[in-house]
A and B are shown apart, each in its own frame.
Chain A
């Protein structure tokens, strides 16, 4: 059974810092991996999707990497801003069928102005 772990559970940084969020998964046989952002009381916003054949994806100040063989992904946030404060969730998809995502418990990020 796939298990997804996110470390740290919570992180507080001053504005402007670069930071890395970590995600690991136990079964390396994945189809893709997706990073989401969730604001309090809200749904999830998709940030980046990395296909199993890819090593990284970039969107603005965000860069996600994937090392499938070791079961790890990182989300790098450059020049953090208070507006980046949210919970970041990592999720993996097993195959191309109608299988659900398996989520980690998230990292709660606070960027202090």
Chain B
């Protein structure tokens, strides 16, 4: 079945570092991928919709210069957290849908980001 791979699974780094998270659809092409953020014991918060070959659509309150999204191919989207600070520490999850009628949405395993 369709699988979404997310890498890395965990990042610990110093404040001010930029961190790149990759999201790949392994056996299908995804024109659209979604990036979510999840706080402990909370539900998923949509950050942005990543469209292949065009600019991402950000949700209200999400800084596009802080969270850079690049969707350069039909199987890869990246999220870069620029100049990360402790308040950016969170669990980031990507998601993708295969093209076609009524396809389910699949999720990566998430990236636990900890900024010291």
A contacts, CB < 8 Å to B: 31-32, 34, 36, 41-46, 49, 51, 89, 91, 93, 96, 98, 100-101, 103-106, 108
Interface pair B104/A49, CB less than 8 Å apart: yes
Chain B residues, CB < 8 A from A101: 34, 95, 105
- Of the listed stretches B13-21, B40-48, B61-69, B79-87, name the one at the interface; the rest are far from the partner chain: B40-48
Chain A residues, CB < 8 A from B6: 43
The 9 closest A-B pairs by CB, nearest first: A44-B107, A98-B32, A43-B109, A105-B43, A43-B107, A49-B104, A43-B110, A46-B104, A103-B43
How many residues of chain B are within 8 Å of chain A by beta carbon? 25
A34-B104, A89-B43, A104-B43 known; A41+B112 contact, CB < 8 A: yes
Interface pair A34/B31, CB less than 8 Å apart: no
Chain A residues, CB < 8 A from B41: 108
User: How would you classify the secondary structure of chain B's contact residues: helix, strand, loop or mixed?
Assistant: strand
6 more A-B residue pairs beyond the given contacts A41-B110, A41-B112, A44-B107, with a C-beta to C-beta distance below 8 A: A43-B6, A43-B93, A43-B107, A98-B32, A98-B49, A103-B43
